[in-house]
Amino acid sequence: MKPSNKILIIDDDNEIVTLVSDLLKKHGYSTDCAETAEQGMKKLRLKPDLILLDIMLPDGDGVDLCRQIRSQCDIPVIMITAVDSDIKRILGYEFGACQYITKPFNPDLLVAQVKSVFNIKRTPKKVNSRYICFGPWRLDIYERTLFDRDMVTVELSRAEYDLLMLLIENARRVVSRDQITKTMHNRNYDGMDRSVDITIGRLRKKVEQDTSHPRLVKTVHSSGYILTTDVYHTDSLTDEIHYTEHSDSTEVKQF
């Protein structure tokens, strides 16, 4: 591991900071800490490679701080939250967070997410690649066909494919109904048109394990939709897909 893998932890919970810092050091990362949003912004000058950011800070909201950080630099951010609200967490993605993890969390899951961020930074995007991987799925952009982990194919309609590509191109960012309507139908969203919601529903039936509790394509109330997973490009259909599903469940060993 390169010594440049520096992680800034912005959290006012000293116990959590100590545990996380010790854990990351065991895996070869160097760490620094800030207890407030103000301290966190000052420590940006040290140019960390990754920021772990608590959503609740004594002098501000972590989502707002995430937006400030991403407006100034391209440092990836993992949000740490104890707030039981998908909207808050997903808005973190809209403002630039690359992942989130919920307290209490499994240490192995945190390390996996940190490693995932650095793997993405080291892997150049192959814009002309045939396959796009997201979550447990692989999309063949030549044949417009989905493959699951077992290489079982799923056919997509033209509307489903176009919508999926729009979500992929904006992965981890909220895509509004107006943006989807303009892209797919070349018209403005009038507030009454249900075609986007219908296509979203059909797409979810093909990519979600449980459509009543979607994990990949989520709804952001009054805003639109978001693809809540990383996107990878490859030329191989047989490359192993590395996918860690976000989990809010409490496991035995937790912080």
Both structure tokens of 119? 């793997």
- Tens place of pLDDT for every residue, the chain, 255 residues? 444 589 999 999 999 999 999 999 999 999 999 999 999 999 999 999 999 999 889 998 888 898 888 878 878 888 888 765 655 655 656 666 777 777 877 888 888 888 877 766 555 555 568 899 998 899 999 888 999 888 899 999 999 999 999 999 888 788 888 889 888 888 888 778 788 999 999 999 999 999 999 989 999 877 789 898 888 888 877 665 555 444 433 333 445
Output the pLDDT for position 206.
95
Contacts of 128 (CB under 8 A, 6+ apart): none
Phi-psi region of 191 (alpha: psi -120 to 50; beta: other; left: phi over 0): left
Domains of the chain: 6-122 (3.40.50.2300), 131-234 (1.10.10.10)
Output the pLDDT for position 120.
61
Output the pLDDT for position 156.
93
Report yes or no: 139 and 146 within 8 Å, Cβ to Cβ: yes
Output the pLDDT for position 104.
79
